[in-house]
Amino acid sequence: MYVQDTIVAQATAPGQAAVAIVRLSGPDAIRILRAIWHPIRARTELLPRRLCLGEIRDPASGAALDRAMAVAMHAPHSLTGEDVAEIQCHGGAYLVRRIVGAAMTLGARLAEPGEFSRRAFLNGRMDLTAAEAVADLVEARGDGALRQALEQMVGALADRVARMRHQLIGVRAHLEAEIDFGDEGIKLPSRDEIAASIAHLIDEMRPLHDSFARGRLMRSGARAAIVGKPNVGKSSIMNLLLGVDRAIVTAIPGTTRDVIEDSVALGPYHLVIQDTAGLRDGGDEVERIGIERALSHAAGADLLIAVFDGASALEADDSRVIEIARGCPGVAILNKRDLAPRLTPAMLRERGVAMPIVPLCALNADGLGALRDELIHALDALVGSNHGETVAVSRERHRAALARALGALEAARGSALGGMPPEIVAVDVAIASDALGSITGEVTSEDVLDSIFREFCIGK
């Protein structure tokens, strides 16, 4: 439920920084600001939407706490659509606590996670896809994710959904005309025409639904599991790709026992790299559990990086790696190219390795450029062509709603072609329309809003 009280929170990350922003929203926001923040010169007025320099004072004792900028934005021209005040103080954790505490003694309540965005949504300042895009923008870890979040934030997805919903309303209007005036001899679209309009909408909606593979990969990053027998250089390659010493490198086989994970930006992509335990038979119980985990991560990964030691002949454990990699997208690495070669790309091809093969020396980074290029190619292929679809859905919530809408439209088309009464066709068209409306939030429930905004941090 939306209670119109005044909320306060730190909008910037907790901890020490040059500047911190304390944000207030609600009917008392500007009154509270005026009780905490005072212009330095008496004639300095707090003009709406203008940053002004002033002094922060403890409202109880009048003691000065900081010199800070403040801005007031009056409803409805603000982030939340309510009166909003922001204080840009110095970024000390104690200072921020004092300011937030002062606001609370003056009647504000500490905001819940995502409460500012939720109010913005409830006051019609942004639709749900835009609110979600703000969260995605903040979490973006690559240019592709940034671009996608920004497009969604400025309404690319909401516009597409609105257009499809508008077309559905047209179909509904025809069906309702048939329900109301069907026997009065008025010229109405035939069932075939209605089925054709629905089929047209299905054709438009399906690529958007299928764009989830691309959208998810851009938003959350692709997972690449490094697999290989012990000592081929998996941990060295992980560290090389990350540019930091993240995984332990030793000449002792079986050192990496659990899955180590970290992420790196690669071209427009964001890749989550997982270093896994070396695959071999035997070893102790801990190592065997590590190997099981390695296999399950390899099975769940978007890409495989299969590593072979170029300075030693193929062994049974390598054959297992070749088996796992069969048919998987990814890159094979022939490591230790600085040593005398005993394994060549041709030999790997002969054994059925179909992935691109990159010779590498993980110790001196010789071949790193080619490895990065091949990984980017593999990601390009994974993301695939957009088939002319410029917008991508990036959340399971959007994909599931589109799947619901598509299912209902298929049913509506079948009923229209099967000569079912218009009421039956109209029910499925209404389900499809509501499913689309749930993406932007035109049709929604408290539970859905709770689950969306709970993911946000406090102050957002």
Give the residue carrying structure tokens 């002062």.
Answer: 102
Q: Does the protein bind ligand GDP through residue 274 (CB under 6 A)?
A: no
Q: Does the protein bind ligand GDP through residue 235 (CB under 6 A)?
A: yes
Torsions phi, psi of 46, nearest 5?
-85, 90
Q: ∠108-110-114 over CA atoms, to 5°? A: 120
Does residue 68 contact residue 78 with C-beta atoms inside 8 Å? no
**Among residues 237, 300, 286, which one has the least CA distance to residue 258?**
286
Q: Does the protein bind ligand GDP through residue 29 (CB under 6 A)?
A: no
Considering only residues 194 to 223 of the shown chain, the ones binding ligand GDP according to CB under 6 A are none
- Kindly tell me which residue out of 1, 18, 60, 251 binds ligand GDP, with binding defined by CB under 6 A: 251
**Among residues 329, 331, 343, which one has the least CA distance to residue 372?**
331
Stretch that binds ligand GDP, among 248-256, 292-300, 317-325, 395-403 (CB under 6 A): 248-256
How many angstroms from the chain centroid is the CA of residue 98? 34
The two tokens of residue 447 are 């539970």
The two tokens of residue 153 are 């934030």
Give the residue carrying structure tokens 């922003």.
Answer: 21
CB of 305 to ligand GDP, least distance (A): 11
Helix (H/G/I), strand (E/B), else coil: 308? strand
- Kindly tell me which residue out of 91, 221, 278, 441 binds ligand GDP, with binding defined by CB under 6 A: 278
CB of 364 to ligand GDP, least distance (A): 7
Does residue 264 contact residue 241 with C-beta atoms inside 8 Å? yes
- 185: alpha, beta or left? (left if phi > 0; alpha if psi -120 to 50): left
Which residue, 304 or 401, has its beta carbon nearer to ligand GDP?
A: 304
Strands 37-39 and 52-57: antiparallel
Give the residue carrying structure tokens 């299905």.
Answer: 202
Q: Does the protein bind ligand GDP through residue 231 (CB under 6 A)?
A: yes
Which residue, 257 or 395, has its beta carbon nearer to ligand GDP?
A: 257
Which residue, 209 or 297, has its beta carbon nearer to ligand GDP?
A: 297
CB of 225 to ligand GDP, least distance (A): 13
CB of 304 to ligand GDP, least distance (A): 14
- Kindly tell me which residue out of 190, 250, 319, 344 binds ligand GDP, with binding defined by CB under 6 A: 250
Q: Does the protein bind ligand GDP through residue 234 (CB under 6 A)?
A: yes
Considering only residues 349 to 388 of the shown chain, the ones binding ligand GDP according to CB under 6 A are 361-363
Q: Does the protein bind ligand GDP through residue 240 (CB under 6 A)?
A: no
Q: ∠236-241-243 over CA atoms, to 5°? A: 90
CB of 68 to ligand GDP, least distance (A): 51
Q: Does the protein bind ligand GDP through residue 230 (CB under 6 A)?
A: yes
Q: Does the protein bind ligand GDP through residue 256 (CB under 6 A)?
A: yes
Q: ∠396-397-401 over CA atoms, to 5°? A: 110
The two tokens of residue 332 are 């094979």
Considering only residues 35 to 54 of the shown chain, the ones binding ligand GDP according to CB under 6 A are none
CB of 287 to ligand GDP, least distance (A): 12
How many beta carbons lie within 10 A of that of residue 323, not counting itself? 10
Strands 303-309 and 222-227: parallel
For the window 310-349, what string marks contact with ligand GDP as x by the rule CB under 6 A? -------------------------xx-xx----------
The residues binding ligand GDP (CB under 6 A) are 228, 230-236, 249-251, 255-256, 278, 335-336, 338-339, 361-363
